[in-house]
């Protein structure tokens, strides 16, 4: 068994490596294709389609390559529209940019610089729309601040506690199998007392993992 494991584990790592290379390549190719479509749509003056394809390029997010370029280009597009007074169009681009990047968050939020810029511009636009053309500059600024606070909230709070919850779950599941193995597995020890003694470590891990799981879920 151990021999078989020793042989299969390097092969498993090789499979994982091949798959990750494939996945990274696929993401980049798809992001690149969407980016090209977005550029073409913008060239033909179809802003909606351009926004959509930029957004889909962000869906194939990777910390490198075309998806990063898509994020930068979408922000430039929004700023360009804003400069020319097309605020509604700019707002649509900014929402797509913000949504696309936030949907790609993991243990970190990608491109926070762009998200923060987008949030400021979105907040200002929403405040102007909400208060109407007659509103004072102060009122708009105050309302924009309120929107900014709302849009700045990152809605996956306390990721670390999620991590502890999952880690705890993983620990108690593995330890659960280990306890069974320790007690009923192919050991030379005879008698329940001896086997339970051997299972002390996995049992401790089990209890620790279970507690971590419960606490993690309660706090996250």
Partner 1 sequence: MKFIAKNTITDNIKYEYILLGLSLFALIFYTLCASPSLGWRDGPELVVTAAYLDVAHPAGFPSYNLLAKILTWLPLGSIGFRVTLFSALATGAAIFLLGLLIRKIHCLDKDNPPSLLWLAAGLPFFVLHQGIWAASVEVEVYSLNLLFMVGLLYCAASWFEGQGIIWLYFGGFLYGLACGNHASLSLYLPVLLLLTFWGQPKTSPGQGLSHNFLIRLLILSIIFIVGLSVYLLLIVRSGTDALPVDFGRTNTLTTFWDHITDAKDRGFHTKSLQSIHELSYYLGVQFENLTSPLVWLALPFMLWGLRYLWVRYQILSVALVLLFAINMVFFFYWIDGVAAFMPTILVAFLLMSLGLGQLGRFLAKMAMPAMARSLVPVLVAVIGLGLLGHQRFGEQDTQSGFWSIELFWPDLSKLPPESVAIYSDIWFHGLGLQYVYLARPDVSIVFLNSVGGSKYITPLLPGKFPMAVFPRTLNGEYLNTQTGNYLNYFLNANFQAGKPVYIQYTVEPSIASIFFYTKPDLDLIWLGQIQQNPATSLEAYKAGDYGRYLEWLNRFMLVMAKGDDPPLAKKAPYYLFIVMEPIIRYALENGEYVLTEKVIQTYMDSFKDKNGKGLFPYNVGLNVQSDMVKILVRLNRLNEAEVAMKRLVAMDPSKPIGYYLLGLIQEANEKSTEAMASIRTAMERDPYDVHFIRRYAVLLAKYVTLAQGVKFLDERSWFFASKGFTGFSMVIDDFRACLLTPPEDDGNKEGSLNAITNDPYRSTVAL
Site for partner 1 in 68-127 (CB under 8 A): 92, 95-96, 98-100, 102-108, 110, 126-127
| Residue 60 within binding range of partner 1, rule CB under 8 A | yes
**Closest distance between partner 1 and the C-beta of residue 46, in Å?**
7
| Residue 36 within binding range of partner 1, rule CB under 8 A | no
Locate all alpha helices (DSSP H) within the chain, ordered by sequence: 2-43, 47-59, 66-83, 87-102, 112-131, 137-152, 159-184, 192-198, 200-219
| Residue 59 within binding range of partner 1, rule CB under 8 A | yes
Residue 198 burial (CB count, 10 A) = 17
Stretch that binds partner 1, among 55-63, 71-79, 132-140, 197-205 (CB under 8 A): 55-63
Residue from 52, 69, 79, 87 in contact with partner 1 (CB under 8 A): 52
Longest dimension (CA), the chain: 87
Q: How far apart are the first and last CA of the chain?
A: 40
Residue from 32, 151, 203, 205 in contact with partner 1 (CB under 8 A): 151
| Residue 220 within binding range of partner 1, rule CB under 8 A | yes
**Closest distance between partner 1 and the C-beta of residue 85, in Å?**
19
Which residue's CB is nearer to partner 1, number 137 or number 193?
193
Distance CA 48, CA 37 (A): 12
# residues near partner 1 by CB under 8 A: 74
Give CA separation, 135 vs 82, 89, 109, 128, 151, in Å. 20, 22, 35, 8, 22
Are 107 and 159 in contact, with CB atoms under 8 Å apart? yes
Which residue's CB is nearer to partner 1, number 48 or number 113?
48
Contacts to partner 1 from residues 165-204, by CB under 8 A: 165-166, 169, 173, 176-177, 180-181, 183-187, 192, 195
Distance CA 101, CA 89 (A): 19
Contacts to partner 1 from residues 13-32, by CB under 8 A: 15, 18-19, 22-24, 26-27
Q: Which residue, among 167, 38, 154, has the nearest Cα to 103 in the 3D structure?
A: 154
| Residue 4 within binding range of partner 1, rule CB under 8 A | yes
Return the HEC string of 56-76.
HHHHCCCCCCHHHHHHHHHHH
| Residue 45 within binding range of partner 1, rule CB under 8 A | no
| Residue 41 within binding range of partner 1, rule CB under 8 A | yes
């Amino acid at each position: 068994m151990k021999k078989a494991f020793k042989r299969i584990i390097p092969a498993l790592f090789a499979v994982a490596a091949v798959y990750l290379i494939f996945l990274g390549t696929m993401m980049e190719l798809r992001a690149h294709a969407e980016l090209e479509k977005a550029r073409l749509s913008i060239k033909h003056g179809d802003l909606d389609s351009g926004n959509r394809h930029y957004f889909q390029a962000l869906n194939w997010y990777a910390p490198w390559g075309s998806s990063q370029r898509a994020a930068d280009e979408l922000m430039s597009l929004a700023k360009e529209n804003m400069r020319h007074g097309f605020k509604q169009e700019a707002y649509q681009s900014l929402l797509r940019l913000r949504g696309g990047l936030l949907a790609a968050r993991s243990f970190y939020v990608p491109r926070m610089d762009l998200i923060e810029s987008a949030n400021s511009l979105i907040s200002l636009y929403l405040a102007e729309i909400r208060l109407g053309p007659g509103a004072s500059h102060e009122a708009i600024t105050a309302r924009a601040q309120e929107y900014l606070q709302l849009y700045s909230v990152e809605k996956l709070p306390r990721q670390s506690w999620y991590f502890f919850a999952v880690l705890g779950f993983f620990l108690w599941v593995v330890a659960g199998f280990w306890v069974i193995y320790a007690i009923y597995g192919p050991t030379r020890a005879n008698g329940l007392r001896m086997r339970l003694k051997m299972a002390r470590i996995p049992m401790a891990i089990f209890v620790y993992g279970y507690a971590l799981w419960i606490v993690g879920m309660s706090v996250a």
